[in-house]
Amino acid sequence: MSSDSSGTTAAPAHQGDVLVVTDVVRRFGDLVAVDGVSFRIAPGETYGLLGPNGAGKTTTISMVAGLLPADAGTITLLGRAVGPRHTDVKRHVGLVPQDLAIYPELSARENLVFFGRLQGMWGRALTARVDEVLEIVGLADRAKDATKEYSGGMKRRLNIGIGLLHQPTLLILDEPTVGVDPQSRNAILESVEALSHEGMAVLYTTHYMEEAERLCDRIAIIDSGRVQAEGTRDELIRLTGELDRIRLTGGGDVPEAAAAVRALDAVASADADRHSVLLAVRDAPTAVAGVVTAATAAGMTLDDVEITRPNLESVFLQLTGKALRD
């Protein structure tokens, strides 16, 4: 699914896509940081860019946000060209940068008011929206304190609040949970889910595969500036050809149970030892009921049923030959 020099990836246009990125390239000197990336995001969709450090996630985002010009390829947002010279279309994008881009000397409210003004918001409408966002990110009671006195998680939440302020069509979050405690992290993930349910399109980069799995409708696995694979979580995992595993543990007639489940269509293999049967199956959640029925009918008494499925980590490993985190 990565594009090569022939540039054949342009997918058929879907009416109503919020963002369409086509064969985008960006070089820094000799380094090709982004090397022919294409993807599109539908309204209300959360799209993930999952890749290790230096993969080209932030560079891609800089181009999508109209900060960096692309050396080749096109980007359109709501059908309009995106780039540093296209100021007006930026109104529809909310960028939450990887680095905390807030003024430390100013309070949360002052930061929000400033960035709101840059979005062309003024007066009472701005004040009302600032209050609303302070509630959303849970900083209403600390709104007047200088942000340099905030905890890391609070700063992260304000960082996100600024991106939401002007109710953009596309919200871009560049690794928004880096350096955040588990509780704040969960709050951040929940608010992204809520925004997505409200219909906001989200472009989410991360190198945590759990986050990509939980949040993203579709995911692009990106490495060395190229999209290595793209699809829903399940599609990506299917790509590896790796099967789900079901382990049955218990007593009774274990060898007979193994033979019985092996005969099922969904089961590719079943190996028994004294107290358990390990099965390789397609789509374990669907197959498990039939497996349990067959095993008990064959005389096995079950103490435990355990399902394990391959995750994006294994997909990544297989695609790139390296681990997602170094």
Partner 1 sequence: MRTALAITSVELKRFLADRSNIFFVFVFPLLLVLFIGAQFGGGGGGRVALSGPDSSLTADLAAQLADDDAQVTTVTADDARELVARGRADVSVVVTDEAAAAYDAGDDVAVPLVVGNGAQSQATAQRVQSALDALALERGQLAALTDAGLSAESARQALAAADTALRPARMEITNVSEIAQEFAGLGQFDYGAASQVLLFVFLISLAGSTTLIQSRRLGVTRRTLAAPVTTRQAVAGQALGRLAIATTQGVYIMAASTLLFGVDWGNLALAFLVVVVFGLVAAGAAMVLGSVIDNDAAAGGVGVGVGLVAGALGGAMYPIELFPDSLRTVAHLTPHAWAGQALAEVQRHGAGLVEILPELGVLLGYAAVLLLVGAWVLRRSLARAI
Ligand X SMILES: Nc1ncnc2c1ncn2[C@@H]1O[C@H](COP(=O)(O)OP(=O)(O)OP(=O)(O)O)[C@@H](O)[C@H]1O
Whose tokens are 């064959």? That residue is: 298
Least Å from the CB of residue 83 to partner 1: 12
Nearer to ligand X among residue 222 and residue 300 (C-beta): 222
Q: What is the x/- site pattern for ligand X, positions 85-124, by CB under 6 A?
A: -------------x--------------------------
Figure out which of the listed residues 36, 41, 48, 56 binds ligand X, where binding follows CB under 6 A: 56
Count how many residues are written for the chain: 326
Nearer to partner 1 among residue 91 and residue 282 (C-beta): 91
CA distance 14 to 90: 22
Q: Which does 54 bind (CB under 5 to 8 A by kind): partner 1, ligand X, Mg ion, none?
A: ligand X
Q: Which does 33 bind (CB under 5 to 8 A by kind): Mg ion, partner 1, ligand X, none?
A: ligand X
Q: Does residue 58 bind Mg ion (CB under 5 A)?
A: yes
Q: How far is CA 180 from CA 7, 51, 129, 185, 302, in A?
A: 39, 19, 26, 6, 41
Q: Does residue 28 bind partner 1 (CB under 8 A)?
A: no
Nearer to ligand X among residue 18 and residue 34 (C-beta): 34
Q: Which does 146 bind (CB under 5 to 8 A by kind): Mg ion, partner 1, ligand X, none?
A: partner 1
Least Å from the CB of residue 270 to Mg ion: 44
- Scanning residues 123 to 182, which ones bind partner 1 (CB under 8 A)? 146, 162
* Span near partner 1 by CB under 8 A; candidates 83-91, 196-204, 265-273, 283-291: 83-91
CA distance 269 to 258: 9
- Decide the pairing of beta strands 244-252 and 300-308: antiparallel
CA distance 271 to 287: 17
Q: Would you say 116 and 165 are in contact if contact means Cβ atoms under 8 Å apart?
A: yes
Whose tokens are 């790139």? That residue is: 320
* Span near partner 1 by CB under 8 A; candidates 33-41, 58-66, 222-230, 315-323: 58-66
Q: What is the x/- site pattern for ligand X, positions 25-44, by CB under 6 A?
A: ---x--x-x-----------
CA distance 241 to 318: 10
Looking at 150-223, list the stretches that DSSP marks H as alpha helix, in order from N- to C-terminal side.
Answer: 152-164, 182-197, 209-215
Q: Would you say 254 and 276 are in contact if contact means Cβ atoms under 8 Å apart?
A: yes
Q: Which does 28 bind (CB under 5 to 8 A by kind): partner 1, ligand X, Mg ion, none?
A: ligand X
Figure out which of the listed residues 20, 41, 55, 261 binds ligand X, where binding follows CB under 6 A: 55
Enclosing H/E stretch for 69: none
Least Å from the CB of residue 206 to Mg ion: 10
* 78-84-86-92 Cα dihedral, nearest 10 degrees: 40
What is the DSSP code string of 85-101? T-TGGGGGEEEE-SS--
What three-state secondary structure class fits 122? coil
What three-state secondary structure class fits 64? helix
Nearer to ligand X among residue 57 and residue 166 (C-beta): 57
Contact footprint for Mg ion (CB under 5 A)? 57-58, 98
Judged by the rule CB under 8 A, the positions of this chain that interact with partner 1 are 62, 65-68, 84, 87-88, 90-91, 93, 95, 97, 99-106, 110, 114-115, 117-120, 122, 146, 162
